[in-house]
Amino acid sequence: MSNKTATLKAGDVEVEFPILEGTEGHPVIDVRALGAHGYFTFDPGFMATGSCESAITFIDGAKGILLHRGFSIEDLARDASFLEVCHMLLHDKAPNSEEYNEFKETITRHTMVHEQVNMFFHGFRNDAHPMAMLCGTVGALSSFYHSDLDVADPDQRSRSAHRLIAKMPTLVAMCYKYNIGQPFVYPRNDLSYAANFLNMMFSVPAEEYVISPAVERAMDRIFILHADHEQNASTSTVRLAGSSGANPYACIAAGVASLWGPAHGGANEACLKMLEEIGTVDRIPEFIARAKDKSDPFRLMGFGHRVYKNHDPRATVMRESCHEVLQELNVENPLLDVAMELERIALSDPYFAEKKLFPNVDFYSGIVLSAIGIPTNMFTCIFALARTVGWISHWHEMMSQPGQKIGRPRQLYTGHSKREYTPIKK
Q: Which residue from 43, 4, 9 is spatially nearest to 27, judged by alpha carbons?
A: 4
Backbone angles phi, psi at 65, to 5 degrees: -110, 135
- Helix runs in 122-212, H state only: 130-140, 154-180, 193-202
* Separation CA 246–CA 236 (nearest Å): 14
* Separation CA 223–CA 389 (nearest Å): 10
* Separation CA 126–CA 334 (nearest Å): 29
The pLDDT value given to residue 174:
98
- The predicted-structure confidence for 27-54, as pLDDT tens digits, reads as follows 888 888 887 777 888 888 888 888 889 9
**Residue ranges in the chain whose pLDDT is less than 70:** 1-2
Residues known to be catalytic: 305, 362
pTM: 0.89
Residue 25: count of CB within 10 angstroms of its CB: 13
- The predicted-structure confidence for 393-422, as pLDDT tens digits, reads as follows 999 999 999 988 899 998 989 999 999 999
* Separation CA 175–CA 197 (nearest Å): 12
